[in-house]
Chains A and B, each alone.
Chain A
Amino acid sequence: MIFEKGILAAITTSPRKVPSGIAVFHCDDEEELKLVSSNLEYILDGIAHEVTPDVFIIVKH
Chain B
Amino acid sequence: MNEYVYPILLGVISGTLTRMYMLRTDYRQYPTHLHGKIIHIALGFIAAGLGTIAIPAIMEEEFTAITFLTLAASQFREVRNMERETLSRLDGLELVPRGATYIEGIAMAFESRNYLVIFTSLLVTFSYLVFNFYVAIIVAIVCFYASRILMDGSHLGDIVEVEPFPIRFDGAGLYIDNIYIMNIGLRSRQEQIMEYGMGFILTPKSFDAQTTISNLGQRQAILHDMSTALGIFKDSGNPALAPLAKRDLDDGRVGVFVLPQVKDEEKALEILRSVPTLEHAVRMPTESKANKKGRKLK
Contact = CB atoms under 8 A, between A and B. Distances in A.
A50 interface: yes
B188 interface: yes
B240 A41 contact: yes
B172 interface: yes
A45 B239 contact: yes
Given A47-B239, A50-B172, A34 B187 contact: yes
B154 interface: no
Interface in A3-58: 34, 37-38, 41-42, 45-50, 56
B153 interface: no
B171 A50 contact: yes
B3 to A, nearest CB: 64
B185 A50 contact: yes
Interface residues of A, number: 14
Given A37-B185, A38-B186, A38-B188, A49 B172 contact: yes
Contacts of A41: 186, 189, 240
Contacts of B182: 47
B99 to A, nearest CB: 15
A47 B240 contact: yes
Contacts of B185: 37, 47-50, 56
Nearest to B241: A47
B31 interface: no
A3 B270 CA distance: 38
Contact of B239 (A34, A38, A46, A50): A46
A37 B237 contact: no
A42 B188 CA distance: 13
Contacts of A48: 184-186, 189, 240
B237 A34 contact: no
B183 interface: yes
A10 to B, nearest CB: 11
A43 B88 CA distance: 28
Interface string B146-176: 0000000000000000000000000110000
Nearest to A43: B237
Contacts of A47: 182-185, 239-240
A55 to B, nearest CB: 10
Nearest to A45: B237
Nearest to A47: B240
Contacts of A37: 185-186
Contacts of A45: 236-237, 239
Nearest to B173: A50
Nearest to A42: B237
Contacts of B188: 38
A60 B184 CA distance: 13
A50 to B, nearest CB: 4
Given A45-B237, A50-B184, 20 more contacts: A34-B186, A37-B185, A41-B189, A42-B237, A45-B236, A46-B239, A47-B185, A47-B239, A48-B185, A48-B186, A48-B240, A49-B172, A49-B183, A49-B184, A49-B185, A50-B172, A50-B183, A50-B185, A60-B239, A61-B239
